[in-house]
């Protein structure tokens, strides 16, 4: 049986996927960024066209896996995330998983259609330049942060509080100190 947040999580993932693909369509077809290369929007923000053939942050794993290997690997990870979303009963965890799932599928679509991920958001300031990214990448990052926050929060059934549950009635004979 699906967890209580599965349907909402799938809807959120689908909404994110649509927003990601619309933004990439606009960058490629409306703004025609590949022809322009880069457009300065603000002193710290450009739209800069980058075709990411690697994995996260340009890690060149694509050279050894190839286009289809990355698509298959990301697809398998997406299925695992979807199963996790199906099983979870935790709201924050579900939102994190939905963001990761929608973002991963958005980037899979790019690799399938273009052979690379369409990256275009370029933040830079004070001589520092951040990796160029897209809506899907931002969603995946936020999703991972949500999972980390959720994992660090105390849980009544978590290992940090496991002993507290049985302290009042437990017989502590045989415990070492």
List 45's β-bridge partners, or say none. Answer: 42, 123
Active site residue 119: yes
CA dist 64 → 35, 59, 71, 73, 90 (Å)? 29, 11, 13, 12, 37
**Catalytic: which of 20, 110, 119, 150?**
119
DSSP state of 131: P
List 40's β-bridge partners, or say none. Answer: 46
Chain-centroid distance of CA 93 in Å reads: 12
Strand segments, DSSP code E, in the chain are 38-42, 45-52, 117-125, 128-129
**Catalytic: which of 20, 87, 110, 137?**
137
Q: Which of 39, 176, 147 is nearest to 88 (CA)?
A: 147
Q: Which two tokens stand for residue 45?
A: 């923000």
Listing from the earlier edge strand, what are the strands of the sheet with 128-129?
A: 38-42, 45-52, 117-125, 128-129
Q: Mind telling me the catalytic residues?
A: 119, 137
């Amino acid at each position: 049986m699906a967890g209580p947040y599965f349907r909402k999580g799938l809807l959120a993932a689908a909404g994110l996927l649509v927003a990601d693909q619309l933004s990439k369509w606009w960058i490629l077809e409306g703004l025609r960024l590949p022809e322009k290369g880069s457009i300065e929007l603000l002193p710290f923000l450009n739209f800069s066209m980058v075709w990411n053939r690697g994995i996260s942050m340009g890690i060149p794993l694509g050279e050894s896996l190839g286009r289809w290997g990355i698509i298959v690997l990301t697809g398998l990870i997406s299925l695992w995330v979807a199963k996790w979303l199906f099983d979870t009963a935790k709201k924050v965890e579900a939102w994190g998983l939905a963001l990761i799932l929608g973002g991963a599928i958005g980037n899979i679509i790019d690799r399938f259609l273009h052979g690379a991920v369409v990256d275009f958001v370029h933040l830079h300031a004070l001589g520092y330049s951040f990796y160029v990214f897209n809506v899907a990448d931002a969603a995946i990052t936020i999703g991972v942060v949500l999972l980390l926050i959720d994992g660090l929060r105390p849980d009544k059934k978590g290992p940090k509080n496991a002993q507290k549950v049985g302290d009042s009635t437990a017989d502590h004979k045989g415990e070492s100190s």
